[in-house]
Amino acid sequence: MTAPSTETTHVSRTTDIPFILKKAFLSAFVALVLFSLMIGIRTEAGPEGQLIYWTRLGDLASIVGLVFGGSIVLELLRQWIGPAGAEKLVPPVVQRGMSYLGRFLAPALLVFALLVPVIFYNQRYILDLAILVLTYVMLGWGLNVVVGLAGLLDLGYVAFYAVGAYSYALLATNFGWSFWVCLPLAGMLAALWGVMLGFPVLRLRGDYLAIVTLAFGEIIRLVIINWQDLTGGPNGVSDIPRPTLFGIPLDNSDDGLAAKLGIDYSPTHRIVFLFYLILALALLTNWVTIRLRRLPIGRAWEALREDEVACRALGINITTTKLTAFATGALFGGFAGAFFATRQGFISPESFTFQESALVLAIVVLGGMGSQLGVALAALTMIGGFELFRGLETYRMLVFGMAMVLIMIWRPRGLIGHRAPTVYLTKAQAISSDLVKEGHG
Amino acid sequence: MDYFAQQLINGLVLGSIYGLIAIGYTMVYGIVGMINFAHGDIFMVGGFIALISFLILVSLGLTAIPLILLVVLLVAMAVTALYGWTVERIAYRPLRHSFRLAPMLSAIGMSFVLSNYSQVAQGARVKPVPPIITGGYTLHEGADGFVVRLSNMQIVVVVTTIVLLLIFTWLVSRTRLGRDMRACEQDQTMAALLGVDVDRTISMTFVIGAALAAVAGMMYLLYYGQVDFNMGFVAGIKAFTAAVLGGIGSLPGAVLGGLAIGLIETFWSAYFSVEYKDVAAFSILIIVLIFMPTGLLGRPEVEKV
C-alpha cells in the first residue's frame, strides 16, 4: 500500500516457495475449521420434527483443497505481478484515450437503446431483460441524486420504489384512474415520503443516516405486509391495469391501438411500448439530474457532500438542500415504482426487501458515483450478470455478495473513476473521483 | 400486575441476547468507526455452529447436560470467532484506508455471503431443537390462576450475559489488549507510532465481538429452540439499535440499550400487536437518533473542521 513496499517487490522477483506453502497450509487450516461443521455436517428436520444429520466429508475435502490451491495461485500471482495498481494495469495514455472514447460511448449507447426493440423485435426474453436493466438504470440515477450528488447515504431507497408501486396499484385498482394520472401522483407521494424521512434525519450524518434510512425502509415494508385491509398484506395487489397510450389500450380489443392503426395485434406491442416508456422515464431522470447539477441547488448538493460545516458557514440552507435531495431521489424512485407495478401487473412486499436497496446502491457505487454513464454501465453489468446466474437460484445471492466484496476491494471508487466537472472556469478537465467524498453527509 | 411481571422477565431475557450482539457492534464502531453490517449474520452462524456441535455431542452418547453445554459454548465461540477474524481479513482490512462507502458496501456484501452460505450449506428450513434446559420456579401464583414463572433457561441466559459482560469489561479496561483497543479508538496513527499493532488489535476486536455474538446465537437457539439462515438481519438491526440507544462505543451502554430494546419489544407485543413489534423497535431507533444522537451513555461527537 505504501511506496517503499512497491519498490521492494519490483526488485526481488524471486518466488518464495516456503512462504507460499506456509500461507497455503494456514489458509487451508482456517478453511477446515470454518467449514468442518457448517459444510462437513448437514442437518435437517426429520419426519418427527427431530433433527437428523449426515456427513459430507467429500464436499469439505474439496473445498479445503480448493482454498489450498487458490491460496497458492493467488500468492504466486501476487509475487509475479506485484501489487496491482490501476495505473499499472491501464497506462495513462490508454486511460486518456478511454475517457476520449467515453464521450462517444454515451451517445452510442443511447442510439443502441433506442434501436433495441427494432433489433430484437421478436426476442421477448431480451426485451424483458432490457426493460429490467432500464428500470435499474432509472433507480440508479434516482439514488445517484441522493448518494452521488448530495452525499447522503441512503440504504432504504427501495421504500420510495415501494411507495410508488403501491400508490399506482391502489389508485388504479380502487379508483380506476389511468396510468398517466397516477404516475405523477405516485411520484409526488414518494417525494412526500422522502421529505417525511428527510425531516427527522436532518441532523444525522454518515453511518447513522444510513441505518435510519435502512430502518425506514424496513418500517415501510413491515407496514405494507401487516396492513392487510389496504395493501393485501403478503398476498400483494394483483390485476393492476396495464398502461395505455394516453387512453388507447394496447390490447386485442376493438378500440385497442392495433385495431385503430389497422395492423395485426401482437403482444410484443405492449412490451415495446413499456420499453420506450421506461427509456423515456430513465432519460427524464438523467436530464433532470444533469440540469439540476448546474443550478444553485445542485451545486449546494455537491457542496454539502464535500463539507457540511463549510457549507453551513457559507450560508447554504442545509435543511432545504437535504430535503430537496431526498425528495428528488424519492420522486424518481416513485416513478420507477409505478412503472414496475404496471409492468408486472402484480406487486407484493417481497419485491421491496433490503436486498433491492443494496443492489441499487451497489449499482451507484460500482458505477463510480456521480457518473451518469457509469451508473448505466453498472446496471447493465450487474443485472446482466445477475441474469446469467438465474439457473443457480440458491447460489445467486452468494455470488452477488462475493462480487460486491471483491469489486469493493478491486475498485472501491467504481468502474468509471473519472467524470466531468459540474462547474469549471475555462476548460473542462476530467476530475478523478478520488477527489470527491461521497456518502459523507 | 402478574402479567406485567412475566413480560418484564421475558423482556429482560430477550434484552440480554440483544445486548450480547450489541457489544460486537459497539466495539467495532468504537475502534474502526464503521458499522459491521455482517455482525448479525455472524450471530446467526454462531447459532448454527452451536446447533451442529450440540447434535454431534449428543449422538456421541454424552448425557451430562452441563458438560455438553460448556463444550458447545466453547466450540461455538472459537469457530465463530474465526469467522469474525476471516471476515475482517477478507472484506474490511484491504479497505481500511479507502473512502467511507467502500467498507460499508463490502460489509453488506459479506452479510449476503454469510446468510446465503448458511442457506446453501444447511438448507432454508427452520432447524428446531428440543428444549434442553427445562424446569423453573414459580414466583407468584395469582388469584385468577395466572402464574409468573422464571425458567431455568431464562436464568442461564441472564447469568451468562452478566458473566461474559464482566469478563469482557475486565478485558477492555484492565488488560494490555484492552489498552491497545482504547488507544486505537483515540487515534490509530498515533497508537501505531507508539508501538500498538493496529491491525492485530482490530482483528482481536472482531474476534471478541464474534465470540460474543456466538454466545448470543447459542442462547437464542436454546431459548427459542430454533435457528434459521434468515435470522441474522433483523436481530442485527435490533442489536445495532440497542448499541445506538445505549451510546455507541460504550460497553455498558450496549447492554443497557439491549435491555431497553428487549423490554420495549416484549411489552409492545404483549399490550399492542405482535405484528408491529419490529416497526416499534425501528421507530425507537429513529426517535432516539433524533433526540439523543449520542444515546444514553454516549459521549458527544466532536466535529473536526
Q: Are A131 and A145 in contact (CB under 8 A)?
A: no
- Contacts A41 to B, Cβ<8 Å: 52, 55-56
Q: Does the beta-carbon distance from A222 to B94 stay under 8 Å?
A: no
Which of B112, B120, B275, B292 best probes binding to A when mutated, by most A CB atoms within 10 angstroms? B112
B62 CB within 8 Å of a chain A CB: no
Q: Are B44 and B210 in contact (CB under 8 A)?
A: no
H or E element at residue A432: strand A431-432
Cα B263 from Cα A267, distance rounded (Å): 56
CB-based contacts of A194, cutoff 8 Å, min separation 6 = A160, A323, A326, A327, A328, A329, A330, A331, A333
B226 CB within 8 Å of a chain A CB: no
Q: Cα A351 from chain centroid?
A: 14
Using alpha carbons, select from A80, A88, A7, A86 the residue that is nearest to residue A410: A86
Q: Does the beta-carbon distance from B116 to A30 stay under 8 Å?
A: no
- Contacts A397 to B, Cβ<8 Å: 112, 115-116
CB-based contacts of A33, cutoff 8 Å, min separation 6 = B79, B82
pLDDT at A99: 62
- Contacts A30 to B, Cβ<8 Å: 82, 86
Contacting A residues, span 331-370, partner chain B, CB-CB under 8 Å: 354-355, 358, 361-362, 365, 369
Q: Does the beta-carbon distance from B293 to A39 stay under 8 Å?
A: no
**Which residues on adjacent β-strands are paired with residue A45?**
A51
Q: Does the beta-carbon distance from B116 to A394 stay under 8 Å?
A: yes
pLDDT at A334: 95
Which of B101, B234, B265, B272 best probes binding to A when mutated, by most A CB atoms within 10 angstroms? B101
Cα A213 from Cα B265, distance rounded (Å): 20
Q: Name the region of A271 (left: φ>0; alpha: ψ -120 to 50; beta: rest).
A: alpha
Which of A33, A193, A404 best probes binding to B when mutated, by most B CB atoms within 10 angstroms? A404
pLDDT at A7: 43
C-alpha cell at A167: 400508490
Q: Are B79 and B49 in contact (CB under 8 A)?
A: yes
C-alpha cell at A289: 439530474
**How far does A319 lie from chain B, in Å, by closest CA?**
14
pLDDT at A10: 47
CB-based contacts of A199, cutoff 8 Å, min separation 6 = A323
B175 CB within 8 Å of a chain A CB: no
Q: What is the torsional sign of CA B262, B263, B268, B274?
A: positive
Could you tell me the CA-to-CA distances from A184 to A241, A332, A339 in Å, in that order? 16, 10, 11
Q: Are B76 and A37 in contact (CB under 8 A)?
A: no
Cα B83 from Cα A38, distance rounded (Å): 11
Q: Does the beta-carbon distance from B55 to A42 stay under 8 Å?
A: no
Query: How many Cβ atoms sit within 10 Å of the Cβ of residue A9?
Result: 14
Intervals of chain B under pLDDT 70: 299-305
pLDDT at B301: 59
pLDDT at B300: 63
Cα B34 from Cα B13, distance rounded (Å): 28
Instruction: Using the structure block, give the residue that is written with the C-alpha cell 403478503.
Output: A234
C-alpha cell at A274: 413499456
- Contacts A204 to B, Cβ<8 Å: 289, 293
Residue B160 CB-half CA count within 13 A: 29
Cα B116 from Cα A229, distance rounded (Å): 33
Contacting A residues, span 398-437, partner chain B, CB-CB under 8 Å: 398, 400-405, 408-409, 412-413, 434, 437
Instruction: Per-residue pLDDT tens, chain A, 441 aa: give them.
Output: 344 444 444 444 567 888 889 989 999 999 999 998 888 888 888 777 778 888 889 989 999 999 999 999 988 887 777 655 544 555 666 666 666 676 777 788 888 888 888 888 778 888 889 999 999 999 999 999 998 888 888 889 999 999 999 999 999 988 888 888 899 999 999 999 999 888 877 777 777 788 888 888 999 999 999 998 888 888 888 888 887 777 677 776 666 777 777 677 777 888 888 899 999 999 999 999 989 988 999 999 988 888 888 888 888 888 889 999 999 999 999 999 999 999 988 999 988 998 899 899 988 888 876 678 888 888 998 888 888 777 777 788 888 889 888 888 887 777 665 566 666 677 766 666 666 666 555
Q: Does the beta-carbon distance from A439 to B100 stay under 8 Å?
A: yes
Q: Does the beta-carbon distance from B52 to A409 stay under 8 Å?
A: no
Using alpha carbons, select from B143, B1, B294 the residue that is nearest to residue A203: B294
Q: Does the beta-carbon distance from B125 to A216 stay under 8 Å?
A: no
Q: Does the beta-carbon distance from A309 to B303 stay under 8 Å?
A: yes
Nearest CA in chain B to A213: B286
Cα B166 from Cα B191, distance rounded (Å): 26
Among B86, B127, B293, whose Cβ lies nearest the Cβ of A51?
Answer: B127
A219 CB within 8 Å of a chain B CB: yes
B290 CB within 8 Å of a chain A CB: yes
CB-based contacts of A201, cutoff 8 Å, min separation 6 = A209, A212, A213, B286, B289, B290
Q: Does the beta-carbon distance from A210 to B104 stay under 8 Å?
A: yes
A301 φ, ψ to 5°?
-60, -50
Q: Enter the pTM of the model.
A: 0.87
Residue B206 CB-half CA count within 13 A: 28
How many contacts, defined by CB atoms under 8 Å, are there between A and B? 192
Q: Does the beta-carbon distance from B79 to A437 stay under 8 Å?
A: no
- Contacts B237 to A, Cβ<8 Å: 211, 214-215, 218
pLDDT at A311: 86
Using alpha carbons, select from B289, B163, B217, B169 the residue that is nearest to residue B17: B217
Instruction: Using the structure block, give the residue that is written with the C-alpha cell 454462531.
Output: B46
B133: helix, strand or coil: coil
Contacting A residues, span 73-132, partner chain B, CB-CB under 8 Å: none
Q: Does the beta-carbon distance from B286 to A222 stay under 8 Å?
A: no
Q: Does the beta-carbon distance from B112 to A1 stay under 8 Å?
A: no
Using alpha carbons, select from B208, B119, B21, B240 the residue that is nearest to residue A394: B119
State the virtual CA torsion across B247, B251, B256, B262 in degrees, nearest 10: 100
A206 CB within 8 Å of a chain B CB: yes
Q: Does the beta-carbon distance from A401 to B110 stay under 8 Å?
A: yes
pLDDT at A265: 74
pLDDT at A438: 61
Nearest CA in chain B to A369: B101
pLDDT at B168: 82
Q: Does the beta-carbon distance from B117 to A413 stay under 8 Å?
A: no
Q: Are B197 and B180 in contact (CB under 8 A)?
A: yes
Q: Are B262 and B12 in contact (CB under 8 A)?
A: yes
Q: Does the beta-carbon distance from B106 to A405 stay under 8 Å?
A: yes
Q: Does the beta-carbon distance from B86 to A204 stay under 8 Å?
A: no
B177 CB within 8 Å of a chain A CB: no
pLDDT at B123: 86
Cα A370 from Cα A372, distance rounded (Å): 6
